[in-house]
Chain A
Amino acid sequence: MCLGIPGRVEKVEDNRAKVSFGEVSVAVSLDLLAEPVSAGDYVIVHAGFALERLDEEEAQRTLEMLREISELETR
């Protein structure tokens, strides 16, 4: 139910955006976002609303941490 899917913002018009998930794209409301997003940003989409912009830097940091664990474990 509380499923959120990360999608890429393709186009923004007023308070709505076209967001793509691979091949599929849907119209999404931006009414819950405090800050504007633009094409190329990723957002978490739930039931037709963008809940939050995905933080690319934090995503990189998380992956970095996972790779470090992996290096430690396979050494």
Chain B
Amino acid sequence: MKHVDEYRDSGLSAAVAGRIRKLSTRPASFMEFCGGHTATIARYGLESLLPAQISLLSGPGCPVCVTPVGMIDRMIALARLPGMIVASYGDMLRVPGSASSLLVERGRGSADVRVVYSSYDALEAARSNPGRQVVFFGIGFETTAPATAAVVLKARELGVDNFSVVSAHKTTPGIIRALLDSDEVKLDGLICPGHVSVITGTAPYRYAAEQRRVPCVICGFEPLDVLQSVLMLVEQVESHRAGVEIQYRRGVREQGNEKARRLMDEVFEPADSVWRGIGTVPGTGLSLRPELSRWDALARYRLDLPEPQEPAGCICGKILRGAASPEECRLFGSRCTPATPVGACMVSGEGACQVRYRWRRHPA
């Protein structure tokens, strides 16, 4: 496939890795923010090409992983309401809540949970089921939030009243800042999420580069993209520079996709958001604006729920902060496997635990 195969060339990969080995003179830890990068790194064994002094850490950029247990519980409670249809991206169905998951509810016949490919499919479900309510579970970072914004505006335009959304969306600038400010993990560079940046441009990483002197490179998702990004980070580290650079130039413009951001601004306002294992981070969530509350499921359905129960022994939170590796978890590979996940990091194909389990990514 064009724009894919070119970036999987083994000869070029070996050359870029050779260059990295030549230039790198000091130990450096780089965090890949995005779970998509975690998967690429493991699947192609990229760490085996890098010098031992360069370590790569997984970050919190896996929306399935960082959605808190309480939000899953809320979706399950909504799905149990009579006549309700919950529409969700497939990734979220298996995430364990306190006592159940959307998939378990569907299997029991206690809920009508449908997997959709696009937010517009959820709106279609509402239009073809006029006697029922449809709630769309909106999760994801800036990559996915515009699609939720677009469907809310479409529902308003078409006057669809039996449709609403739960916004569990999260945004990147605040969490990157929180990670760096916690000083729990020392980072020498950030491999920045390519498809988030298609929307945001370079703005979310300015704080890291300019205030914290952490080099940043916006990276594509093929193996050569990641290797070239590591090379660009090594070049910054070795020359004592810290800037925001774009490796993924074929997809990312400096200023991002302004139209998509305008749609997001029209529909959402910043809100505090709870991150699994991290806690509440100010300004890292997106709530529907009050004037759109007709389509805000969190405003329409006010459900009292018991306190969420985190799975005992799961260290997902520490892993998401880059402060532990999956092998340090007692449950990893024994009680917690992709078939029977305990924590969210084992559910997602981009979660650090599942990636490590499937591809045996070795700790640095």
- Hey, which bits of chain A sit against chain B, CB under 8 A? 1-4, 6, 8, 21-22, 26, 29, 31-34, 42, 44, 46-49, 51-52, 54-56, 58-59, 61-63, 65-67, 69-70, 72-74
What are 6 inter-chain pairs, A to B, with CB distance below 8 A? A1-B63, A1-B64, A1-B350, A2-B141, A34-B257, A66-B12
B230 contacts the other chain (Cβ, under 8 Å)?
A: no
B50 contacts the other chain (Cβ, under 8 Å)?
A: no
B84 contacts the other chain (Cβ, under 8 Å)?
A: no
Minimum CB–CB distance from B59 to chain A (whole Å) comes to: 12
**Bound: A68/B16 CA distance, A:** 10
B-chain residues with CB within 8 Å of residue A33 when the two chains form the complex = 257, 259
Interface centre among A22, A32, A34, A52 (most CB of B within 10 A): A32
Chain B: residues with Cβ within 8 Å of the partner, total of 56
**Bound: A68/B157 CA distance, A:** 51
Minimum CB–CB distance from A17 to chain B (whole Å) comes to: 13
Does B249 lie within 8 Å of A58, measured CB to CB?
A: yes
Residue in contact with A54 in the complex, picked from B36, B140, B251, CB distance below 8 Å: B251
B30 contacts the other chain (Cβ, under 8 Å)?
A: no
1/0 contact trace for B28-66 toward A, CB 8 Å? 000000111000000000000000000000000111100
B11 contacts the other chain (Cβ, under 8 Å)?
A: yes
Does B199 lie within 8 Å of A51, measured CB to CB?
A: yes
By Cβ-Cβ distance, the 7 closest A-B pairs, closest first, are: A48-B118, A70-B15, A2-B143, A6-B3, A59-B250, A58-B249, A73-B15
Closest A residue, CB atoms, query B148: A47
Does B195 lie within 8 Å of A51, measured CB to CB?
A: yes
- Hey, which bits of chain B sit against chain A, CB under 8 A? 1-4, 6, 11-12, 15-16, 18-19, 34-36, 61-64, 89, 91, 117-121, 139-141, 143-144, 146-147, 150, 193-196, 198-199, 221, 224, 228, 231, 247, 249-253, 257-260, 263, 348, 350
Interface centre among B12, B91, B146, B251 (most CB of A within 10 A): B251
Does B249 lie within 8 Å of A62, measured CB to CB?
A: yes
A8-B2, A42-B3, A58-B249 known; A48+B198 contact, CB < 8 A: no
Does A48 lie within 8 Å of B36, measured CB to CB?
A: no
Closest B residue, CB atoms, query A73: B15
Residue in contact with A61 in the complex, picked from B34, B61, B196, B249, CB distance below 8 Å: B249
**Bound: A1/B249 CA distance, A:** 21
Does A49 lie within 8 Å of B146, measured CB to CB?
A: yes
A-chain residues with CB within 8 Å of residue B18 when the two chains form the complex = 73
A-chain residues with CB within 8 Å of residue B64 when the two chains form the complex = 1
**Bound: A55/B18 CA distance, A:** 28
**Bound: A33/B263 CA distance, A:** 11
B-chain residues with CB within 8 Å of residue A55 when the two chains form the complex = 249-251
Minimum CB–CB distance from B133 to chain A (whole Å) comes to: 22
Query: A29-B118, A47-B117 provided; 11 other pairs, C-beta below 8 A?
Result: A1-B35, A3-B221, A26-B117, A32-B150, A33-B257, A42-B2, A51-B143, A55-B249, A59-B6, A66-B224, A73-B18
**Bound: A25/B259 CA distance, A:** 25
Minimum CB–CB distance from A16 to chain B (whole Å) comes to: 10
Closest A residue, CB atoms, query B6: A63
Closest B residue, CB atoms, query A46: B143
A1-B63, A6-B3 known; A58+B147 contact, CB < 8 A: no
**Bound: A67/B19 CA distance, A:** 12
Does A46 lie within 8 Å of B150, measured CB to CB?
A: no
Residue in contact with A47 in the complex, picked from B1, B144, B250, B260, CB distance below 8 Å: B144
A2-B193, A58-B249, A59-B250 known; A21+B143 contact, CB < 8 A: no
**Bound: A55/B139 CA distance, A:** 28
Residue in contact with B198 in the complex, picked from A1, A4, A72, CB distance below 8 Å: A4
Does B147 lie within 8 Å of A69, measured CB to CB?
A: no
A-chain residues with CB within 8 Å of residue B119 when the two chains form the complex = 47-48
Does A1 lie within 8 Å of B120, measured CB to CB?
A: no
A-chain residues with CB within 8 Å of residue B147 when the two chains form the complex = 32, 46-49
Does B195 lie within 8 Å of A49, measured CB to CB?
A: no
A-chain residues with CB within 8 Å of residue B91 when the two chains form the complex = 1
A-chain residues with CB within 8 Å of residue B89 when the two chains form the complex = 1, 47
